[in-house]
Chain A
Amino acid sequence: MKTKPNNPAAETGRSASLVGRLVRGAVLWALPLLALTAFALVWLYRESTYQIFDEPLISTVTSLISSAETIPQDSGETIIALSKEPLDPRYQRALSGRYWQVITDEAQITSRSLYGEEIDFSADERAKLLGNPGAQISGSSPGPDGESLRFVARSVILPDIQRPVIMVAAMDESPAKRAINRFAVLAISVLAALTLGLIAAVTLQVRLGLRPLFDLRDRVASVREGSATKVEGDYPREIAPLAGELNSLIAHNRDVVERAKTHVSNLAHALKTPLAVLTNEADKAKTDLGEIVGRQTRTMTSQVEHHLARARAAARAQTIGTRSDVTESITAMVRTMARIYGQKDLDITQNLDPEIWFRGEKADLDEIAGNLLDNACKWAKASVKVTVSAGVEAGFASMIVEDDGPGVRPENYAKALQRGERLDEATPGTGFGLSIVDDLVRAYKGEVALGRSAMGGLKVTLTIPSAPPPEDSL
C-alpha cells in the first residue's frame, strides 16, 4: 500500500517548484524571441509585398519619364507634354484607384482618373525629391476617393528645364494592406500556438527530466514511513551521489541514535545497582536516616525511570525506516509468559497475521506486547487470546489481547491506564504495565481502548502503525 507522501515543498505552491522555475525560465527567453520573430516576419512580408506592389508603379513612372517631352515656347518658357500617356485604361476612369501625376514648378499633368485632385506630398518628401534629382521615394498618402494610396515618385531633370520634375504613380494600397494584415494575424496565431506548444513541451521535458528526482523523493518518503530502510534504485550521474549521501545520512542517523540510546541506557542501568544497594540498606535500617535514604532512593529511581523513558522516546522520534516483525515478538512473549506463569497452565491462543509488521522499534513492540500479555496472564483464569489483524484505517493494524479473568469495570478504564494506578493492591505488580503500553502506543500515534472480552475478562484493543513486511523477508 502506498500513501501519498506529505510533501511540504508541494504545499508552498509554485514559487518553490523546480518544474515551475525551469518552465518559467524557458518562457522568459522563448516569449520575447517569438515576439521578435513575429515582428520580423510581418516586417519582411510587408517589405516584399510592397516591393511587388511597387513594380507597376515604377514602370508607370519610367514610362512617364520616357514619354515626357519639353516644348520651348515663344514666351521663353518651356512646357512639358507627354508624347504618350500610360496605357492602362484605369488611368482614364475617374477615381479608379490608379493615378499618375507629373509635377513641375509651374504646372502639373495628371491622369484623368485623379479627377482634378492631386496626390498629396508632405513638404519633406517634396523637398527631398527636389533636392536630389534622380531620387525615388515611395510612401502612403490619402487619395482622392478617401482611400489610402501607395505612391512611387521620382525626380528627373529634363532638358531645358532648370528645376527637377517629379513623376508620381499611385495605386490604392488596400489589397496590399489586407494581405499584410492577414499575414500578420496568421503569423501571430501560428507563433502563439507555437509558444503554447513549446511551454507544454518544456513542461513535459522538465517533468521527464526530473522524474528521477521525484522518484528519489518518493523513496525518501518511504524510508521515513518505514516501508524501506534505505534509498534504493539506480539514479542518473547527477543525483546518484545525493542518493548515496542520503543513505549515509540515514545510516549515520541510525548509528547516532543507537549510540545515544546505548549511552543513556548504560548510565541509567549503571545507577540502578547502587540504587538497589541503597534501597536494601534503607529497608533494613529502621532509623530516620534509613527512612530519608529510602524516600530519596525512591525519588531517584523514578527519576532514572523517567529519563530512561524519555531517552527512549526521543530516540524513537528520530529513528526512521524501522519496522519489526509482530509475529516474532508476540511468539517470543508468549514463550516467555509460558515460563513466567508456568504453574498456572494457561492456554494462550495466538491469532496472528504474518503479513503485518509494526512500523517502529522492536524494543517498543516487545514492551507493548510484553506488558499486555503479562497483564492478561496475571489476571487470566485459564486462557488468554492475542489477535493481530489489519486495521480499519490504512497503515494501521489492530492488536487485541483478552483474558478470562475478572476484567475491569468500565468506570475504571481511564484509571487503569494511569501511571502507577493499581486497581487491585493485593496482586503483585508495579501498576505501570498498562500505562507504559498507553504511553508507547500514543507515542506512535496509535490508540488504546479497553473493553469487556467475550471470554469474560479485560479486552485491550490497540491500534498501532503497521507496515508491510520488508521485501527480503518474503
Chain B
Amino acid sequence: MRVLVVEDDKDLSRQLAEALRDSGYAVDVANDGEDGHFLGDTEPYDAVVLDLGLPTIDGISILQKWRADGKTFPVLILTARDQWSEKVSGFDAGADDYLTKPFHTEELLARLRALMRRAAGHSTDTIEIGGLTVDNRSARAFVDGMPIKLTSHEFRLLSYMAVHVGRVISRTELVEHIYDQDFDRDSNTIEVFVGRLRKKIGTERIETVRGLGYRLLDPALSKDKVKAIEDQTK
C-alpha cells in the first residue's frame, strides 16, 4: 500500500513518513502544494494525508482538483483548523476523513487503515484468506496461526494482494503500490519478491497469470466468484 503525505512542516512530514513506513506502507512526501498535487495526479496512491495550509496551492484546492480529475483515493485531511465550518468545507471538497493537530500518530494510522479498508470494501484490519492472515494493524502475517517473517517490501506486496484478493494484479500496478517514488524501480525485483513470498506462505497461494500479472488465491472462492471479481474489475 502506498501513501502520499502532503505536509509543509519538514519535521512533521518526516515523522509521519517514518511512522507510516514502520506500519508497512510505501510513503511519498510532498512539502508544498504544487508537488503534492502533481504526485497525487500522476501516481496511484492508496491513501493521501493532506495538510490544508500549504505553500503554493492550498489543500482544499488540491483536493478539489484531484476529485474533479476523477481521483478516488481516500484522502485524510490533517490540519490545525478544528472548526466544524472548516471540516464541512474539507468534506465538501471531497475528503474522506479529518484529523486535527495535534494528534497521536496511532490515531492517524488507525484512521488511514480504516479509510483504505473501506476503499477496498473490507470491514476489519485483518484479512483472512484460507489460513493466511494479514494483519494490517501490526504489519504482520500468519499462516495457520504461525507468524511469518516478512521484509517490509514483502509485507507491502502481500498486503496489497490480500486487499485485492482474487484479482489479477499487473507487475506495474504492484510496483506502483509497494515502492515509493524514490525507489529504483525494476519490475524484475517484483518477481524476486513474489518468489520469496511463495516460499513463506505457500507456492499455490499466488498464481502467475501469463502476460497479465499475479493473483492471490482464496481457496474458499469458487472459480465463478473469481470470474465475477474479474468482470467487476474490468
Contacts and interface: CB of A to CB of B under 8 A. Distances in A.
Given A274-B9, A336-B87, 5 more contacts: A276-B101, A277-B15, A279-B102, A336-B92, A367-B84
B152 to A, nearest CB: 18
A369 B95 CA distance: 20
13 contacts: A269-B53, A274-B9, A281-B15, A283-B106, A332-B88, A332-B92, A333-B84, A333-B88, A335-B91, A336-B84, A336-B91, A363-B85, A370-B84
Sorted nearest first, the 3 A-B pairs with minimum C-beta distance are A370-B84, A272-B80, A269-B80
Nearest to A275: B102
B11 interface: yes
A283 B105 contact: yes
Contact of B11 (A271, A277, A297, A428): A277
Contacts of A269: 53, 80-81
A339 interface: yes
A255 to B, nearest CB: 20
A182 B81 CA distance: 89
A367 B9 contact: no
Contacts of A270: 80
Contacts of B84: 333, 336, 366-367, 369-371, 374
Contacts of A339: 91, 95-96
A340 interface: yes
B209 interface: no
Contact of A280 (B15, B53, B87, B96): B15
B97 interface: yes
Contact of A276 (B12, B88, B91, B118): B12
A273 interface: yes
Contacts of A342: 118
Given A283-B105, A332-B92, A335-B91, A273 B80 contact: yes
A343 interface: yes
- For chain B, give the interface size range: 20 to 34
Nearest to B105: A280
A422 interface: no
B88 A273 contact: no
B169 interface: no
A367 B103 contact: no
A366 B98 CA distance: 16
Interface of A: 268-281, 283-284, 297, 301, 332-333, 335-336, 339-340, 342-343, 362-363, 366-367, 369-371, 374, 428
Interface in B2-46: 9, 11-12, 15, 19
A269, A273, A278, A362 interface centre (most CB from chain B within 10 Å): A273
Contacts of A271: 80
Contacts of A273: 9, 12, 80, 101
Contacts of A333: 84, 88
Nearest to B104: A283
A267 to B, nearest CB: 11
Contacts of A283: 104-106
Interface string B71-111: 00000000011011101100110011110111111110000
A323 to B, nearest CB: 15
Contacts of A362: 85
Contacts of B81: 269
Nearest to A266: B53
Contacts, number: 81
Contacts of B19: 280
Contacts of A366: 83-85, 88
B51 to A, nearest CB: 8
A272 B102 contact: yes
A336, A342, A369 interface centre (most CB from chain B within 10 Å): A336
Nearest to A369: B84
B136 to A, nearest CB: 17
B104 A340 contact: no
Contacts of A343: 118
A275, A277, A371 interface centre (most CB from chain B within 10 Å): A277
A63 B105 CA distance: 134
Nearest to A300: B102
A279 B104 CA distance: 7
Nearest to A373: B84
A367 B92 contact: no
Given A269-B53, A277-B15, A280-B15, A340 B88 contact: no
Interface in B194-220: none
Contacts of B91: 335-336, 339-340
A370 B87 contact: yes
B9 A363 contact: no
B96 A277 contact: no
A304 to B, nearest CB: 9
Contacts of B105: 280, 283-284
A167 to B, nearest CB: 110
A410 B123 CA distance: 35
Contacts of B106: 283
Nearest to A362: B85
Nearest to B18: A284
A300 to B, nearest CB: 9
B213 to A, nearest CB: 30
A272 B86 CA distance: 16
Nearest to B22: A284
A335 B92 contact: yes
A279 B99 CA distance: 14
Contacts of A428: 107
A77 to B, nearest CB: 128
B56 to A, nearest CB: 17
Contact of B103 (A276, A335, A363): A276
B80 A340 contact: no
Contacts of B118: 342-343
B15, B85, B87 interface centre (most CB from chain A within 10 Å): B85
Contacts of B104: 279-280, 283
Nearest to B97: A340
Contact of A301 (B92, B102, B107): B102
A206 to B, nearest CB: 49
Contacts of A274: 9, 11
B88 A336 contact: yes
Nearest to B78: A276
Nearest to B9: A273
B92, B102, B103 interface centre (most CB from chain A within 10 Å): B102
